[in-house]
Amino acid sequence: MKTKLIFSLLTGLAGTALAQAPTPDATTLMSMGRVNEAKYLLSRNAQQTPTVQSYFDAGYGYLRAGQPDSARIWFEKGVPLDGKREPLNETGIAISYLVANDVANAGPKLEEVLKKSKSKNADILFRIGEAYTGYLTPGDGSIKPTYPKAVDANKAMEYLNKAAERDKKNPAIQLALGDAYYLNKDAGTAVTRYENAIELGMDASRVDQRIGDIYWQGRNLNLAVDYYKKAIEANPNYSPAYNQLAELYFLVNRYKEAASYEDQYVNVSKDRRQETLLRQAQFHFLAKDYDRAVSLIDSNRTTLAQNPIVYRIEGWSNSSLKKPKKAIENLTTFIEKAPEKVIPDDYKYLGQAYMGIESAGTDSLSAMNKAINDSIGVTYLEKAAPFDTTDNLYSEIARYYYRTKKHPQAVATLDSAAKHGFKADVQDLFRYGMSNYTLGFQRDTANKLVRDTVRFAMADSALALAQKISPEYSPTVLYRAKANYYAYDPETAVRNGKARPYFEQFITMVADKPDDVKRYSRDLILAFKYLISYEELVTKNQATREEWLKKGLALFPNNKDLAKIAEPEEDTAPQ
């Protein structure tokens, strides 16, 4: 299970109205981490309009996509168009070897382009310095270099500062300098450089998002949210900020906000990639908007069909929506298609789905089918229970065993729940008490009744805890009385008086309720006989004895046992 992180976050922009977003350009796509789409746009432009810059941009797109060999092909096409003192595409070739950690080729080629440009060309200095950052790519709350082995923060700052000296108004250089200082663990200077990029005219949304990412990395989530909000305020169509907010809220388990921002991200960005649509459905599932999760999968079936995870999300959602047959179909398909991806939660939802199938009728065949489905369901729940730290599946399993009168299994299951750290609720306590009470009546080899006093004591202990939680529930009081009564032979039970307060309390709770008097008639008669005997044998209080006898006869005037007790010579110990 996902570990919960507790942070105090500012209210988000879940209700922000969205304008219709234009198709993102290559730079925006890269800032969103969608480098494959960016390289496609850039390579198409180079084919349609071949220039020094377009060839370099195409190669740059492949560099950002993590494909230096493919990037080199485009740079080589642009070399013939390079200026004598502006070897831009030659620089691209040198960088392609640098990021690939091919020092033997990168070193000489970098020296050559610096020599040709006399180390004075701001654009070439910028491109080399940026390469030494490894091309930081923000996304999903992380800022990671595409080429970790190429990272050299000191060299990056050296080249980028030289570039900035020669081109003081270039915001892209300031942005890259921010990345270099961040890599040098100087977040304060990094933010200053990012802010410089805004002052020099860079799209504030892009930079604000970058600052938000920096604060996210520093675990200052409040400020991260502030800057993502600023990015959206500056440009409601800047989709990366919505995506980052969605991921941030996911991180802190605020799933409704995560789902809302992911919806807005998809709406603005028109990002229809499989992983994005799957993420969107997942967030809605986590937000417990199961209908929306299933609807998203249905409406994107063509895109998502090849990913077996969609069957898991559908299965979990349909199980939660009380559509057990659909859930079973979904999860069975998932397990067949991706057995290596199965996790305990799959068994949890599958088990709950089987147990959620209602009986089709009242005939014996329907009852048998219900019993079979419940049995299958419990088997799956038992597979999942030891691994679930959130939901007490043991409680569900115990309920099944209690209902089917498998009391040893019910007790063992609730013992397992306690061992796994789950606190028993009032129903668990009642079932634990009642199962132990039932198991208190044992039979020896001669089929003679043997009282298991330990079981009765365990029953009373559990029922006492249940009574504290729900003091007005009369069956709990009744079975505390009966556990303390049947733990001993009748006379001993009367003389030790352990059952007395509970029989008294039970009579008080139900005597003025005609339906309960009828329902519990046998138990009430036992209670009156016990109390009459107690007053006669222990307290010797004739007045109180007569009072209990009078109350008993008032409720059950035709009861033969009470009538016999009314005769002075009769033995009054209850049997």
DSSP 458-504: HHHHHHHHHHHH-TT-HHHHHHHHHHHHHTS-HHHHHHH-TTHHHHH
Chain segment 107-150, per-residue pLDDT in tens: 999 999 999 999 999 999 999 999 999 998 876 667 789 999 99
pLDDT at residue 214 in the model = 87
Strand partners, 442: 450
The answer to which of 13-22, 206-215, 554-563 has the lowest mean pLDDT is 13-22
Region of 209 on the Ramachandran plot (φ > 0 left; ψ -120 to 50 alpha; else beta): alpha
**How confident is the prediction for the chain on average, in pLDDT?**
90
Strand partners, 451: 441
How many angstroms separate the Cα of 323 from the Cα of each of 178, 315, 316, 357, 544?
A: 52, 9, 10, 8, 59
pLDDT at residue 1 in the model = 38
Q: Is 369 part of any domain?
A: yes
Q: Is 29 part of any domain?
A: no
Contact 240, 267 (CB under 8 A): no
- Split at pLDDT 50, 70, 90, the class of 373 is very high
More confident residue, 273 or 27: 273
Contact 402, 427 (CB under 8 A): no
Q: Is 299 part of any domain?
A: no
Q: Is 251 part of any domain?
A: no
Q: Is 138 helix (H, G, I), strand (E, B) or coil?
A: strand
Cα 367 from Cα 354, distance rounded (Å): 14
Contact 62, 68 (CB under 8 A): yes
| Total count of domains within the chain | 1
How many degrees, rounded to 5, is the angle at CA 26 between CA 35 and CA 153? Answer: 60
Q: Which domain holds residue 314?
A: 308-391
pLDDT at residue 568 in the model = 63
pLDDT at residue 24 in the model = 66
Q: Is 272 helix (H, G, I), strand (E, B) or coil?
A: coil
pLDDT at residue 13 in the model = 31
pLDDT at residue 140 in the model = 62
More confident residue, 41 or 137: 41
How many angstroms separate the Cα of 14 from the Cα of each of 18, 262, 265, 337, 453?
A: 11, 10, 11, 36, 61
- Split at pLDDT 50, 70, 90, the class of 8 is very low
Cα 575 from Cα 561, distance rounded (Å): 10
CATH number of the domain to which 376 belongs: 1.25.40
Q: Is 104 part of any domain?
A: no
Of all helices (H) and strands (E), which one includes residue 143? Answer: strand 142-145
Direct distance between the N- and C-terminal alpha carbons of the chain, in angstroms, rounded to an integer: 54
pLDDT at residue 364 in the model = 82
Q: Is 349 part of any domain?
A: yes
Average pLDDT score over residue span 361-373 = 85
pLDDT at residue 569 in the model = 57
Q: Is 46 part of any domain?
A: no
pLDDT at residue 331 in the model = 97
Q: Is 144 helix (H, G, I), strand (E, B) or coil?
A: strand
Q: Is 126 helix (H, G, I), strand (E, B) or coil?
A: helix
Average pLDDT score over residue span 533-555 = 95
pLDDT at residue 11 in the model = 26
- Split at pLDDT 50, 70, 90, the class of 25 is confident
Q: Is 332 part of any domain?
A: yes
pLDDT at residue 139 in the model = 62
Chain segment 225-284, per-residue pLDDT in tens: 999 999 999 999 888 899 999 999 999 999 999 999 999 999 998 888 899 999 999 999
